[in-house]
Amino acid sequence: MSKLIYKMGGVSADGYIVGPDGKFDWGVPDEELHRFHNDEARALGGHLLGRRLYETMLYWETAALDPEAGEIQRDFASVWQAMPKVVFSRTLESVEGVNMSLARRDLPSELAELRQTVSGDLGIGGARLAGDAIRQGLVDEFQLLVYPVSLGGGIPFFPRDCRLELELLETRTFNSRVAYLRYRAIYPTPS
């Protein structure tokens, strides 16, 4: 069965994906890191998104038309558009974008259906949605790109209301001093 992988574009050294001011400008990838993002995205069969992440990622629906977009950005836009995506929202009635659909059922049901219709591992993004998946024991792997910055608050990568054991599978340090950490989730064995 495919893995469900929680990954975000960047995590601060103190564990936040967005600062207390709502900004994530500290996590803009350089060329090396952007190529890594592209390759990681290319390996996925599909993606589950929360509403805020969906709204952020809408840029990639038209990024290829941006005259300032370079080859790497156009490549990511192509990869992102080709990937099937399911958006979870309590407020949206519809979504726009290539291969984008709005979830109509609960997370486990949508995940099971996506697993049946695509090949490859699946990504999940958006702290609230991923937190729900973690609490339900659905996330198999965590991939963090840890930036050398401390934000002091904001939206945390991991939910603050549950404990999770992790097994380190891989590390890598980029020229930008960003550290890639890949972990496997270890959930308690039901008794």
Residue 91 included in any domain: yes
3-class DSSP state for residue 79?
helix
Task: Write the CATH number for 31.
Answer: 3.40.430.10
Residue 182 included in any domain: yes
Instruction: Read off the pTM.
Output: 0.94
Residue 179 included in any domain: yes
Domain that holds residue 102: 4-186
Higher pLDDT, 189 or 161: 161
Query: What are the tokens at 135?
Result: 């609490």
| Count of residues in the chain | 191
Contact (Cβ atoms closer than 8 angstroms) between residue 3 and residue 122: yes
3-class DSSP state for residue 59?
helix
97: pLDDT confidence band, cut at 50, 70 and 90? very high
Q: Which long-range contacts (CB under 8 A, 24 or more apart) does 132-135 make?
A: 132/107, 133/4, 133/6, 133/48, 133/107, 134/6, 134/158, 134/159, 134/162, 134/164, 134/185, 135/159, 135/161, 135/162
Residue 134 included in any domain: yes
**Predicted confidence (pLDDT) per residue in 57-72, tens digit:** 999 999 988 899 999 9
Distance of alpha carbon 64 from alpha carbon 191, whole angstroms: 52
Contact (Cβ atoms closer than 8 angstroms) between residue 76 and residue 41: yes
Distance of alpha carbon 128 from alpha carbon 157, whole angstroms: 9
Residue 191 included in any domain: no
Residue 133 included in any domain: yes
Residue 40 included in any domain: yes
- Look at 11-15, 64-68, 117-121, 155-159 and tell me which has the smallest mean pLDDT: 64-68
Residue 77 included in any domain: yes
Mean per-residue pLDDT, 35-56: 96
> Phi-psi region for residue 142, left (φ > 0), alpha (ψ -120 to 50) or beta?
beta
Give how many domains the chain has, as a whole number.
Answer: 1
CA distances (Å), origin 8, targets 29, 116, 191: 12, 24, 33
Instruction: Note the pLDDT of residue 188.
Output: 81
Mean per-residue pLDDT, 158-180: 96
Give, for 167, the enclosing helix (H) or strand (E).
Answer: strand 165-173
191: pLDDT confidence band, cut at 50, 70 and 90? low
